[in-house]
Amino acid sequence: MFFTIPTLLTWTRIVAIPLIVGVFYLPLPAEQRNLIATAMFVVFALTDWLDGFLARKLQQTSAFGAFLDPVADKFLVSACLLVLVHLNRTDVFVALIIIGREIAISALREWMAQIGASRSVAVHMLGKLKTTAQMIALPFLLYDGRLFRVIDTRVWGQWLIWIAAVLTVWSMVYYLRKALPEIRARVR
């Protein structure tokens, strides 16, 4: 099911990456670039929820969609983190933690699936909390201004991205501990 509505929505997150990055190279005032990039990120991030909802509702779930969905999410988040590092809005250490964890857990899940133990690294609430913190922090940091003339999005974004980084490490430790019995059984 390569060209279903849910899969096409997932592809939009991948297509969004050069568009969001490209906004920061437009000859516009910084505030306009920030607003456009933030709006784009929020719209494209919402397709993550929408594609899953539609896949279930339209009964268009597929192995390809299940593969592509987290890949699209990780690409979008990684690209935005790199932009934010480039703009000095977040620390490179945070980006390394988050991107590194995504690579490590993706590899772990692939290996666990190959050995028939994918249930040991199934999605957990910690991973969902991490994702929620990231998905609020990133638009705050992309916006980089005062929301409603009250909320300093850079300050809140910095706090949230560090919370996301802590949750990232915590969830990685959780997944590794869950997989450890399988790892030990295979290494012997």
What's the rounded Cα separation, in Å, for the pair 2 and 64?
Answer: 7
C-beta separation of 138 from 77 below 8 A: yes
Residue pLDDT, tens place only, 139-183:
999 998 888 888 899 999 999 999 999 999 998 888 888 777 777
What's the rounded Cα separation, in Å, for the pair 116 and 110?
Answer: 10
Answer whether residue 118 shows pLDDT above 70. no
What's the rounded Cα separation, in Å, for the pair 167 and 97?
Answer: 10
Radius of gyration of the chain (CA): 18
> How high is the pLDDT of residue 105?
84
Greatest alpha-carbon pair distance for the chain in Å reads: 60
What mean pLDDT is reported for the chain? 86
- The domains of the chain are located at 1-88, 90-188
This prediction's pTM = 0.86
